[in-house]
Amino acid sequence: MAVKVIRQGDIVDAVADAIVFSTNEHLFLSGGAGASLLGKHGDALQKAMHRALAGTGRKVAMRGEVFEIEPQGTWGRMFAVVAANGFYETSREDTSRAITGVLGRCAEIPGLRTIAMTALGTGYGNMEIEDFVEIFCAVELPSPIEELELVIHGYIFFKAACKTSEALGSSARLIAGSV
């Protein structure tokens, strides 16, 4: 049976087969989870992000787009989601579609069973954590995905996520503390 987890911690400490995180339309690792990932993996990750965007032939990505970042020595499978446009606007529809899309892609990868993700579009985007948690709790996990973990860095946001999850009657496990 597939499990959903809401955990307080830092995405760089997550142990999962794939990491899903927000990025901006230029795929810069400039803030929030991106800055943490850049701090851990360095400029090689930023260059891989830029290669992913260059592969589209465009200079700007569209809100809701998902980019698989080529694995390297210090990181495994990563998916960057453009959660907000240049005006920091997000939408529930784009976010839900992006999550469903990335989960579908992950389900096609042999051996990939666990996914850790950040609360897409809640940092530099205008989505509230409560809205993201509603999407997270409602999403269906495709087989063979066994676990989807939402990793929330700040304690206040984690508590808001727990409150929303509980109000929805979600079966997501809630884990305070670091990853």
Number of structural domains (the chain) is 1
pLDDT, position 140:
95
Domain range enclosing 120: 3-175
Name the pTM for this structure.
Answer: 0.95
pLDDT per residue of the chain (179 residues) written in tens, 0 to 9: 799 999 999 999 999 999 999 999 999 998 889 999 999 999 999 999 999 999 999 999 999 999 999 999 999 999 999 999 888 899 999 999 999 999 999 999 999 999 999 999 998 788 999 999 999 999 999 999 999 999 999 999 999 999 999 999 999 999 998 55
CATH number at residue 36: 3.40.220.10
- Count of residues for the chain? 179
3-state helix, strand, coil in the chain (%, to 5): 35, 20, 45
Cβ-proximal residues to 166 (8 Å cutoff; 6+ apart), any chain: 174
Alpha-helical runs (H) found in the chain = 32-41, 43-54, 92-107, 129-138, 155-167
